[in-house]
Amino acid sequence: MTTVAPTPTSTPARRRNPQLLIGLIAVAVILLVALLAPLLATHDPLRVSGPVLQPPSGEHWLGTDRSGLDIYSRVVYAPRVDLLLAGVGTLLAALLGVPLGALAGYAPGVVGEAISRTLDVVQAFPFFILAMCLLGIVGGSLPNIIAVLAIVNAPIYARLMHSQTRTLRGRMFIDAARVSGCRPRQVILGHIVPNSLSPILAQMSVTLGMSIILVAGVSFVGAGVEPPTAEWGVMIGDGSGGMFTGQWWPVVFPGIALALTVVAFALVSNGITVANQQRSRRG
């Protein structure tokens, strides 16, 4: 009697990549909180709603800060600012860095070398220090923060795309595209970029998390988002002095929200990388 092997289902595949599933669920929850903040908030995040530095209670679930603002309401409103800045900055960084990296990896001679050396110079500066210097020059308005995020993150995508392009340009399908008459722009946009989407998406997830940390960091030191905007870095900076006198809640709750958000995007990035590796092994 012949035994028929059971047909594999998609469930084991999903179980082999729990990071991606957990990360996507967490990111979806964070996005929902940002979208539904007016419904979830119990108080106006920008108006005094109680005594200053009141600990968590039935009226103020996460307490109040030193200005009497409700911390819970500010925590649920904060993703609107942080995700907007990090999301737009990350998208612009990818749109700027991917073409530059592809050109540097595909173009022969002086052009590619010049782009590579320029990227080396930009990446020689520490990420946070470069952002601080640029914001010190242009100011900490929201459009300026987005522009700075794009500038400091673009070299990461350029380096990634440079490596991908140099790896792919010797493949047979790229040679076939050249022989068929495709111009360099068509080869890059039609063949190299589509075959580099997985690492690009993984990097975008990492960049989102790092950009949120950067926004919080520059806001913490007073160079980014200005008070009393509901933003995690602003909240942590405003409440940091109270940690030594027992008022821990203005720092701990936004800090937890910030950490969970960064971890969620890191899980998505790791999950995309694992999925790409699994697909490569099957291919």
**Tell me, what CATH number does 267's domain have?**
1.10.3720.10
pLDDT digits (tens, 9 = 90+) for 140-161: 899 999 999 999 999 999 999 9
pLDDT tier at 5, thresholds 50, 70, 90: very low
Which residue type does 257 have? A
Secondary structure (DSSP) of 65-93:
-TTS-BHHHHHHHHHHHHHHHHHHHHHHH
Q: Is 14 among the domain residues?
A: no
CB 40 within 8 A of CB 17: no
Closest to 196 (Cα-Cα) out of 74, 55, 98? 98
Q: Is 47 among the domain residues?
A: no
Residue 212 has pLDDT above 90, yes or no: yes
Token pair 């729990």 is found at: 18
Q: Helices 109-123 and 142-168 meet at what angle, rounded to 10?
A: 130
Please provide the size of the chain in residues. 283
Q: What is the C-alpha separation between 208 and 214, in angstroms, rounded?
A: 10
Q: Give the residues across from 70 on adjacent strands.
A: 64
Angle at 126 (CA atoms; ends 197, 109), nearest 5 degrees: 55
Residue 4 has pLDDT above 50, yes or no: no
Q: What is the C-alpha separation between 84 and 224, in angstroms, rounded?
A: 14
Q: Is 268 among the domain residues?
A: yes
What pLDDT shows up at residue 9?
46
Q: What is the C-alpha separation between 200 and 94, in angstroms, rounded?
A: 8
Coil, helix or strand for 125?
A: coil
Number of domains in the chain: 1
Write out the residue range of the structural domain in which residue 269 sits. 19-34+61-281
Q: What is the mean pLDDT of residues 216-226?
A: 91
pLDDT digits (tens, 9 = 90+) for 15-71: 578 999 999 999 999 999 999 999 999 999 999 999 999 999 999 999 999 999 999
Closest to 199 (Cα-Cα) out of 258, 125, 261, 279? 279
Q: What is the C-alpha separation between 4 and 2, in angstroms, rounded?
A: 6
What's the token pair of residue 256?
A: 């937890």
Least confident of 110-114, 127-131, 139-143, 273-277: 110-114
What pLDDT shows up at residue 184?
84
Q: Is 50 among the domain residues?
A: no
Torsion sign, CA atoms 94, 95, 97, 100: positive
Coil, helix or strand for 169?
A: coil
Q: Is 55 among the domain residues?
A: no
Coil, helix or strand for 1?
A: coil
Which are the contacts of 92, defined by CB distance < 8 A and separation ≥ 6?
A: 146, 147, 149, 150, 154
Residue 283 has pLDDT above 70, yes or no: no
